């Protein structure tokens, strides 16, 4: 089983903000594969279904971003207890302020790079050895406050490209599940428009 966790904050006031891209990708995958992410379990909204011939659990932690690891760890522990020797494989999807808006990076493992939600997941599950999809959100100009920006509403320009960006991240998640991380990295880790090198 794959446990696909998209990071975000619960509540309507946070729905259309950069920090909630992970939630939007889970919603996209749920719509594509007819999975209802409505069950409340382990302080998260979850839904089970099939993607690429694999069993998946789509997860939207409801603990607020900085405590995302609480729900993720509880669900991983539950699935491990159920399956015994074949625990769920974690795939994390989240926004990344270090990357420009629209850039996508698939990584097999790594640090949190200062992302509080990812930091909490790493701390709670006890490892950073899990694949992730990082979705760039930097607007391309100097920010007075990164913390304020990630919780601000999408700009008109961002809204215009939002569906394609979320769709591309959902494509990457499907690829990881069906084909593995290495092949997905080769397919999706391309340069963002306006940049000269991989990030």
Where do the domains of the chain lie, and which CATH numbers do they carry? 2-188 (3.40.50.1470)
User: Quick one: tokens of 183?
Assistant: 């092949």
Count the neighbouring beta carbons within 10 Å of the beta carbon of residue 140: 10
Question: Strand (E) positions, the chain?
Answer: 2-6, 39-41, 44-51, 54-61, 89-100, 104-107, 132-138
For residue range 68-124, list pLDDT tens digits in order. Answer: 999 999 999 999 888 776 678 999 999 999 999 999 999 999 999 999 999 999 999
Closest CA to 74 of 84, 66, 63: 63
Kindly report the average pLDDT of the chain as a whole number.
93
Residue 168: pLDDT band by 50, 70, 90 thresholds?
very high
Taking only the tens place, the pLDDT of each residue in 34-50 is: 999 999 999 999 999 99
The model's pTM is: 0.93
Alpha-carbon distance of 77 to 87, in angstroms, equals: 8
Which residues are known catalytic residues?
19
Q: Using CA atoms of 49, 62, 123, 57 in order, give the dihedral in degrees to the nearest 10.
A: 0
For residues 199 and 194, what is the distance between their CA atoms, to the nearest angstrom?
12
For residues 191 and 48, which has the higher predicted lDDT (pLDDT)?
48
pLDDT of residue 144: 87
pLDDT of residue 94: 98
Rounded to whole angstroms, the Cα distance separating 108 from 177 reads 12
Q: Is the pLDDT of residue 194 over 70?
A: no
Q: Distance (Å, rounded) from C-alpha 125 to C-alpha 76?
A: 8
CA nearest neighbour of 54 among 108, 125, 128, 4: 4
């Amino acid at each position: 089983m794959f446990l696909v966790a998209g990071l975000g904050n619960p509540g309507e006031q946070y729905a259309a903000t950069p920090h909630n891209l992970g939630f939007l990708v889970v919603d996209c995958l749920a719509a594509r594969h007819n999975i209802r992410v409505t069950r409340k379990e382990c302080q998260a909204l979850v839904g089970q279904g099939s993607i690429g011939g694999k069993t998946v659990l789509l997860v939207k932690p409801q603990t607020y971003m900085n405590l995302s690891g609480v729900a993720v760890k509880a669900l991983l522990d539950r699935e491990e207890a159920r399956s015994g020797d074949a625990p769920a494989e974690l795939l994390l999807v989240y926004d990344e302020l270090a990357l420009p808006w629209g850039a996508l990076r698939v990584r097999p493992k790594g640090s949190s790079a200062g992302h509080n939600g990812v930091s909490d997941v790493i701390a709670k599950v006890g490892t950073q050895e899990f694949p992730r999809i990082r979705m760039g959100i930097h607007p391309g100009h100097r920010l007075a406050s990164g913390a304020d920006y990630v919780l601000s509403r999408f700009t008109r320009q961002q809204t215009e490209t939002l569906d394609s960006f979320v769709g591309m991240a959902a494509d990457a998640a499907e690829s990881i599940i069906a084909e593995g991380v290495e092949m997905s990295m080769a397919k999706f880790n391309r340069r963002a428009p306006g940049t000269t090198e991989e990030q």
